């Protein structure tokens, strides 16, 4: 069987591409490796997606996008994309469950959280070190946690953690926060949130659970040990592009390079969402990328006729 388009990834970019491609009467398969939703599925509140009802959650929003895909006839597969090979008809896609054939592809594999890389981080992951407040905040009721990073994610997640933990310390390497001003005001106004600015974590200590952190002041180089029950790391993301090494062009930070029509360097392969080199990674830009990619897939297939 030949698909018109195989979409790799089922976050907002992949799901939006699915809706547009299926409404364009294409035969569409979305590969949704780890379940639907992408990174937004771990977001507890979506305030800035136009039209989203108050208190929309990431999972709620993506579930509705997936339902729309199903309504228009999109097929879903839980298999993992491994590689593709160009053929005269399009592409043969290798997955962990065998081969698939398609005329075109849209890579919407998103990005994942970066690690700090300090001593103890890897060893204590899941034992007090977390990359997802929505998933783990509940374990820190009444406790003391650190949030690392000064961007939107760190500030939003710190606010979320105030519903559970007793004390949240935002540790940021610069002397001012980077996140949106509205979030900055909320964290500064929240009595449960403290700040350690111009500081980084040098080490996370603990036996079976996080017990303390060694904080380094980057101005004075001074080290201090602070008792801590948990460490939530939000220092940005890295794109999921390992599977495309040697085929699709990437920038210095490993994001896929596309033009404004979402075309990659290989004709017939498009990319959309956070995996792409771009200036703003939001649900609204991901869904927009997905729509543009799908419309260009439709044009590409028409041009082949
Ligand atoms: P980000 O904006 O790249 O912020 C990452 C933060 O981590 C920065 O403050 C950075 O410090 C710090 N950092 C990076 N590497 C570090 C290291 N090794 N050690 C210590 N600190 C480190 O990432 P993000 O907050 O995940 O946001 C990603 C994108 O999603 C952004 O475009 C953001 O606007 C968007 N987003 C939006 C919303 C929303 O609008 N509701 C919510 C979440 C995310 P520096 O400041 O010094 O670089």
Together in a domain, 204 and 181 = yes
- Which among 198, 233, 268 is the end of a domain? 233
- Which among 200, 217, 233 is the end of a domain? 233
Together in a domain, 102 and 244 = yes
Together in a domain, 54 and 73 = yes
**Residue 114 CA, closest ligand 1 atom number:** 15
Q: What is the mean pLDDT of residues 59-70?
A: 94
Distance CA 96, CA 174 (A): 43
**Residue 152 CA, closest ligand 1 atom number:** 25
Please report, for the domain that includes residue 182, its CATH number: 3.50.50.60
- Which among 233, 250, 274 is the end of a domain? 233
Together in a domain, 122 and 102 = no
Q: Whose CA is nearest to atom 2 of ligand 1?
A: 151
Could you tell me the residue range of the domain that residue 136 belongs to? 115-233
Instruction: Say yes or no to pLDDT of 241 above 70.
Output: yes
Together in a domain, 127 and 276 = no
pTM of the shown model: 0.82
Task: Give the tens place of pLDDT for each residue, 100-154.
Answer: 999 999 999 999 889 999 999 999 998 999 998 887 899 999 999 999 999 999 9
Together in a domain, 34 and 46 = yes
Together in a domain, 88 and 108 = yes
Ligand 1 centroid, distance to 99 Cα (angstroms): 38
Position 77 scores a pLDDT of: 95
- Catalytic positions, please? 132, 135-136
Q: Is 274 in the pocket of ligand 1 (CB under 6 A)?
A: no
Mutation to probe ligand 1, out of 50, 149, 170, 279 (largest number of atoms < 8 A from CB): 149
Together in a domain, 67 and 8 = yes
Together in a domain, 83 and 121 = no
Region at 251 (left for phi over 0; alpha for psi -120 to 50; beta for the rest): beta
Please state the domain count of the chain.
2
């Amino acid at each position: 069987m030949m698909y018109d388009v195989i979409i790799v990834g089922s976050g907002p970019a992949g799901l939006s591409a699915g809706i547009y491609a299926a409404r364009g009467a294409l035969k569409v398969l979305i590969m949704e490796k780890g379940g639907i939703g992408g990174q937004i599925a771990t977001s507890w509140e979506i305030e800035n997606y136009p039209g989203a009802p108050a208190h929309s959650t990431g999972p709620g929003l993506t579930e509705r996008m997936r339902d729309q895909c199903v309504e228009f006839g999109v097929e879903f597969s839980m298999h993992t994309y491994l590689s593709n090979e160009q053929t005269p008809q399009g592409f043969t896609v290798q997955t962990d469950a065998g081969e698939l054939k398609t005329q075109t592809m849209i890579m919407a594999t998103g990005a994942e959280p970066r690690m700090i890389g300090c001593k103890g981080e890897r060893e204590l992951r899941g034992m007090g070190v977390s990359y997802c407040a929505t998933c783990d905040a509940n374990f820190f009721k009444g406790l003391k946690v650190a949030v690392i990073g000064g961007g939107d994610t760190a500030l939003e997640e710190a606010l979320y953690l105030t519903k559970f933990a007793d004390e949240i310390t935002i540790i940021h390497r610069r002397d001012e926060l980077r996140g949106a001003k509205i979030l900055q005001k909320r964290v500064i106004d929240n009595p449960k949130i403290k700040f350690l600015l111009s500081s980084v974590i040098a080490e996370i200590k603990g036996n079976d659970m996080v017990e303390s952190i060694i904080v380094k002041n980057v101005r004075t180089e001074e080290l201090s040990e602070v008792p801590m029950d948990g460490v939530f790391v939000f220092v940005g993301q890295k794109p999921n592009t390992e599977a495309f090494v040697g085929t699709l062009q990437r920038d210095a930070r490993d994001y896929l390079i596309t033009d404004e029509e979402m075309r990659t360097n290989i004709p017939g392969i498009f990319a959309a969402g956070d995996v792409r080199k771009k200036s703003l990674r939001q649900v609204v830009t991901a869904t927009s990328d997905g729509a543009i990619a799908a419309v260009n897939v439709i044009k590409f297939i028409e041009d082949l006729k």
